[in-house]
A and B are shown apart, each in its own frame.
Chain A
Amino acid sequence: MKIIVTSLGPSLDSPMDVRFGRAARFILFDDESQGFQIIENTQNLNAAQGAGLQAAEIVSRAGAECVLTGHCGPKAFKALTAAGIRIYTGVDGTVAEAIDRLRAGQLKQAESADSQGHAF
């Protein structure tokens, strides 16, 4: 299983970024190989519009099955759901801690977007 975690830094010890669309970067963690890959999100960070959607595209194309983040807006939520990706919001701590909690079954899947979109 591949997991995307929004992260402020480039390692598993980095603190998570609470933002999804405007996350500093994504860490794509592969549960089987225990390896990870960094996907920078520079373009979306500065986008005035559509950041959530484009982030959803990145996640979808990376082949991830679930996303661990802080907040997720309605458009990104809709897009991720349509792509069959599970979303866990309200997650904090470091990237590694978040992954551990997911494995331990301590995270609850989000049923709807938890923040309102700013850009319309």
Chain B
Amino acid sequence: MQQLAVISGKGGTGKTSVVACFAALAGEKVLVDCDVDAADLHLVLSPTILETHEFRSGHVARIREEDCRFCGECMESCRFDAIGPVGDGFCYQVDPIACEGCRVCVEFCPAQAIDFEERTCGEWFISETSHGPMVHARLGIAAENSGKLVTTIRQAGHEIAENQGRSLLLIDGPPGIGCPVIASITGTDFVLVVAEPTLSSLHDFDRVISLTAHFRIPTAVCVNKWDLNPEITRRIEQAARSRNVSIAGRVRYDPAVTQAQVKRLSTVEYGGQAADDIRKVWERIRARTTGLVQIDSH
């Protein structure tokens, strides 16, 4: 099985729209929306949810008011500024949003008045779409640890693909270069970076390809809305060549992309010039990835 991740560095470059097109174009695949912070792929693919799983990760401390002796040891111990006194009473309270679940306060409370509860961080889903199975998630608001959720849903997608004999895992990755992105791309066979011709995107592109180089993953770039600034498009492509990143093509600026989104269709199903461009990008990626040695990572 091959794993293909689509990432962007900077957000809003059109990554999800491109993934939705690939979903329509690819054969036997499983889709995984790893952009769990701002999951959008389901808005285009309208999935029917088959299974819902609770996502629990880490712990959160909770002080039992009746047992608290107000000594302040917990507040002093907490490195995350998560504990403070409440109201005018003689009790401390943990702010669950700031708490990182380290257990220090629980261990060192002289009154043993602090519970350590498992934290529910969100939900993840196995769904069916008109383009095949999809695994996606909803992270609770202000919840942390999206890297672990990404790992969880990638594993679920991997299992479905193996059980159903599907040859491709198509991953919609999150923006940035941090924990969720690393969790989305480690162990993949190929990464496509969707850039746009802006100075911000050029800057972020450089950082994101440093990351894929670090993990030694073959990488390609496609510049979306390239005609908005042909000069920066050339600079992105130059940067790509100098760093051994291949060029998967260009996609032109086309209002049809937004119109397709409003109609909840992928761009290639809606049609237009950008749709033709994306189709070519997909063909190039297929040509590139079928040449790769199949790496079966357990």
The reply to whether A118 and B151 contact each other, CB–CB distance below 8 Å, is: yes
B258 contacts A by Cβ under 8 Å: no
A118, B154: Cα distance in complex, Å = 9
How many residues in A have their beta carbons less than 8 Å from beta carbons of B?
12
A115 contacts B by Cβ under 8 Å: yes
What's the minimum C-beta distance from A44 to chain B, rounded to whole angstroms? 14
Mostly, the B contact residues are: helix
Q: Which of under 10, 10 to 19, 20 to 34, or 35 or more describes the interface residues of B?
A: 10 to 19
The reply to whether A71 and B183 contact each other, CB–CB distance below 8 Å, is: no
The reply to whether A49 and B298 contact each other, CB–CB distance below 8 Å, is: no
Mostly, the A contact residues are: loop
Known interface pairs A18-B298, A116-B215, A118-B187. Does A48 touch B182 (Cβ–Cβ under 8 Å)? no
What's the minimum C-beta distance from B179 to chain A, rounded to whole angstroms? 6
A58, B43: Cα distance in complex, Å = 45
For residue B182, which residues in chain A have a CB less than 8 angstroms away from its CB? 120
The reply to whether A117 and B298 contact each other, CB–CB distance below 8 Å, is: no
The reply to whether B183 and A119 contact each other, CB–CB distance below 8 Å, is: yes
B57 contacts A by Cβ under 8 Å: yes
A120, B187: Cα distance in complex, Å = 11
A116, B151: Cα distance in complex, Å = 13
Pairs across A and B, CB under 8 Å, 15 listed: A48-B57, A48-B151, A48-B152, A49-B148, A70-B298, A71-B298, A115-B297, A116-B187, A116-B215, A116-B297, A118-B183, A118-B186, A120-B147, A120-B179, A120-B183
- The residues of A with any CB-CB pair to B shorter than 8 Å are 18-19, 48-49, 70-71, 115-120
